[in-house]
Amino acid sequence: MRHDTFTIAGRAVHRLGFGAMSLTGPGVWGPPKDRDACVRVLRRAVELGVEFIDTADSYGPYVSEEIIREALHPYPEHVVIATKAGFVRTGPGEWHPVGRPAYLRQEVEMSLRRLGVDRLDLLQLHRIDPEVPLEDQVGELKALQDEGKIAEIGLSEVTVADLERARRVAPIATVQNRYNLTLRGSEDVLEHCEAQGLGFIAYTPIAKGRLAAPGGPVDHVAEAAGATPAQVSLAWLLAHSPVLITIPGTSSVAHLEENMGAARVSLTGGQLAELTEAAAR
């Protein structure tokens, strides 16, 4: 198996994936301005070697899943489609966790229909609902898994304690937390996932802020490596941990092609150390 892959739902997928949240309108609400362009982005992503696509029922809501089906169904055998349930949208930029078991079941059934599949490769609890016992939320996903409607179960925005509590109820395949070169508050979760052999999906993966500013460490390494700052940020993530899957998203083919170029960027040990050191300051 290639070192640059991680196995999900029985398939080894390249760890440079695609996040489909951008295939919607402003505020992750409503349809995108150019639906045809979003279809082209997805098809081009698969052409460029993307094997892991991450979406959610709340993106749109529902819009992202519908566009994925339009662009890629029937799905190539090597492509894993991951989705999420448990986060309700009530307007642009508004998010509310809802983890009632009946609601999670409804949304899984609807995602199956929208994506046009009999089984979801990876269903992630988008957020833990503090009003519902975690055991009930994960327990319902485990019931759906036992029924053959979910292949793997994942969690999103959790702590190590949350993860271990959930694992007492069901096998957990992945965690998805915000993580990049400059936002490393989930380092302990990543280390725990690595120790346990679980996948860690990093969303918002491209570093912004002081490290990526002109003349900053990312800019300096990018110039030396003949790459863009975005490519360097993604290449650092891929080198940082073998269980880390990164999901940059875009609605532009040109931006997609730039991001995918990160797979060809080979950072030296010194460059990796420089970036890691700078992030720790």
Residues tagged active-site: 59
Specify whether the CB–CB gap between 232 and 222 falls below 8 A. yes
Strand 80-85 and strand 52-54: the pairing is parallel
Q: Could you tell me what percentage of the chain is helix, strand and coil, using 3-state DSSP and rounding each to the nearest 5?
A: 45, 20, 35
What three-state secondary structure class fits 102? helix
What's the Cα-to-Cα distance from 144 to each of 24, 100, 109, 198, rounded to whole Å? 28, 14, 9, 21
C-alpha to C-alpha distance for 125 and 105, rounded to whole angstroms? 11
Q: DSSP labels for 69-98?
A: HHHHPSPPTT-EEEEEESEEEEETTEEEE-
C-alpha to C-alpha distance for 221 and 218, rounded to whole angstroms? 5
Which residues sit opposite 85 in a β-bridge? 125
